[in-house]
Chains A and B, each alone.
Chain A
Amino acid sequence: MAKKIALLQGNEACAQGALYAGCNFFGGYPITPSTEVAEVMAGELPKVGGKFIQMEDEIGAMASVIGAALAGSKALTATSGPGASLKQELIGYACIAEVPCVIVNVMRGGPSTGMPTGPGQSDVMQARWGTHGDHAAIALCPSSCQEIFSETVRAFNLAEKYRMPVQVLFDEIVGHMRERIEFPEPGELEVINRAKPSVTPEQYKPYDTSFGNVPPLAAYGSEYRFHVTGLNKAEDGFPTTKASLVDAEERRQIFKVECDEARADVESNEEYLTEDAEVIIFAYGSTSRSARYAVNELRSQGVKAGLFRPITLWPFPEKRVAQLGEQAKGMVVAEMNLGQMVFEVERIVKNTCKLGRVNRVDGEPINPTEIMNQVKEVL
């Protein structure tokens, strides 16, 4: 049977991906340029018996998502820059309480209100360090409508598997662009649901590490009954200030994502003509599409250029970037901000190659010529 094909906007593809992943709760608040995600969910969720609620503010939206997730739902919220800022405290809550949920941030420009209808990529560091305190982060950054669909599915999978909030970041260009989407058949993409406890209700502890770094999570309203808090807690979920327990808990919550095994599972990159590349363009989101064009142009001019496109921004692909830094003479980081991921690249490649950067924050996309000019600077 022929696959279902549609011409979808990135934001619509995101909502469709969420539904494919089994999302059954959306708590949101209107904000440009992400609102279409909420609009599609408002129409589609009740059709499948799911729940949509437009909350009174961004914080309430994030709170409702965590509450619903603890009651067993696969929960989603979608927002943009200022809304993501407002959600930060509760993203941290979902980190420490280990609540699976997905936060979509359709990135626009500026601090504060900035340029609501213009694209930006300036929330990538916020996605890593926006909430206070030490914590791990998973953030995915698709660059096409089809990939928004599949990465939204993957975001739910990672949230459920690692029991934590996962952010999907895409810039307004991809969010509002319309492209052909091929709907995967049910079962074609993997859909992961959280591990359920296997012990008796009397034995259940919501942070029981004897089951590994990601303890199984029961649902409110099941036969299991448990306590959840944003305080540092012991395995039973109750607050503790005991130094050894607090230390072990915080380290485990980072280790569960940053250990080699998890990194290998979570990291996802696309490489284009990097094998013999002397210069690597590091670009993500819509910027990577200009970068790909630049690589082709440069190759036609005899420049051995390649593209490294992180799809998983966090955890940062340290190993591969280090290898490419040693292989290449130069690297160019192109991003729609005034320099954010470039510092991560710099941290990893150190002085093994020359580093250039292309930055824009004027609401215009980075064009291939700008990237090509910078490539010539580092060669």
Chain B
Amino acid sequence: MAYDYEKSIRPGKLPHIWCPGCGHGIVMKGLIRAIDSCGLQKNETAIVSGIGCASRLPGYMDFNTLHTAHGRAAAFATGIKMARPDMKVICCGGDGDGAAIGGNHFIHACRRNIDMTYVLMNNFIYGMTGGQFSSSTPTGDKASTTPYGNPDPAFDLAKLAIGAGATFVARTTAFHATQIDKLIAEGIKHKGMAIIEVLDDCPTTYGRRNKFRSVVDMMKRLKDIAVPVTAAAKMTPEQLEGKILTGVLHKEDRPEYCEQYAKVIERAQGV
């Protein structure tokens, strides 16, 4: 029997706003399967986003959902989690939202190691505003604001998260649909800040400007550049040129923020 996604979708909220060929729907399905496999309860889960195409995801999901302001998902989510540490908090959003305008909240949420799962859908572009380059657009690529090619270097968002202190960092792509839910589920189960970066495709505003003839071409590219971190260990730097590592890139145990604050309460109360 086919998997029942509808049980996690709010009745009447589909169709979604995403363009044909957009990878966000693949990520949402992965998120649904992950939440399901972890057995999260709808009333005890909050899904928080910022602004952009990817940030419209929570509106479709039948949970406590919060569509915040541009870049602020992690900061709003921090307030929810601090107020209700018993709740499961999941953030989602795009690369421009999470790593450019929201970069400060993103790195500090990683630093605190607050128990949240952040699904970062990186499609290398500002899609909703029509295709301006983001902080993860590869150098040289075309966007509506880089008509002569992007002069900026791009962030490696997973490395950024690791450097900032996230204790679970994983990466996959929209092509690797079945890996998405496994990594998100692992992130949800991890105690602390879990970042799952999903490399995603935007055929409408990125693909057509960058010589991708079809969505299939974009998916093929995601497939081709992805190298599982286990396989990469046996590869030479030359072989890894232009590749992106996928899988669990970093995992460590470090005190979680709300648990640390619970100790602050104990000290203040002289327990």
A interface vs B, CB < 8 Å?
24-25, 27, 43, 46-47, 49, 51, 53, 55-57, 59-61, 63-73, 75, 89-90, 93, 220-231, 238-239
Contacts and interface: CB of A to CB of B under 8 A. Distances in A.
A63 B105 contact: yes
Interface centre among B67, B86, B87, B269 (most CB of A within 10 A): B67
Contacts of B107: 56
Interface string B77-97: 111111110110000000000
Interface string B60-84: 0011111111001001111111111
B76 A67 contact: yes
A221 B46 contact: yes
Given A59-B72, A64-B82, A227 B58 contact: yes
A75 B69 contact: no
Given A63-B72, A67-B83, A228 B268 contact: no
Interface of B: 10, 13, 42-44, 46, 48, 58-59, 62-69, 72, 75-84, 86-87, 104-105, 107-108, 261, 264-265, 267-269
Contacts of B65: 226-228
Enumerate the 3 nearest inter-chain pairs by beta-carbon distance, A residue then B residue, closest first: A67-B79, A63-B75, A64-B79
A70 B76 CA distance: 9
A229 B66 CA distance: 6
A19 B64 CA distance: 28
B43 A64 contact: no
Contacts of B268: 43, 46-47
Nearest to B262: A46
A68 B79 contact: yes
A68 B82 CA distance: 7
Interface of A is mostly: mixed
A165 to B, nearest CB: 14
A59 B75 contact: yes
B268 to A, nearest CB: 4
Nearest to A233: B67
Given A60-B108, A90-B69, A221-B64, A71 B80 contact: yes
Given A47-B269, A60-B78, A60-B104, A230 B87 contact: no
Given A63-B68, A90-B69, 15 more contacts: A49-B269, A51-B83, A60-B78, A61-B75, A64-B78, A66-B68, A67-B66, A67-B75, A67-B79, A71-B83, A73-B83, A93-B69, A220-B80, A221-B86, A239-B59
Nearest to A231: B67
Contacts of B63: 225
A63 B79 contact: yes
A40 to B, nearest CB: 13
B203 to A, nearest CB: 24
A229 B67 contact: yes
Given A90-B72, A220-B87, A230-B67, A238 B43 contact: no
B98 to A, nearest CB: 14
B83 to A, nearest CB: 4
Contacts of A27: 79
Given A56-B108, A229-B59, A71 B72 contact: no
A127 to B, nearest CB: 19
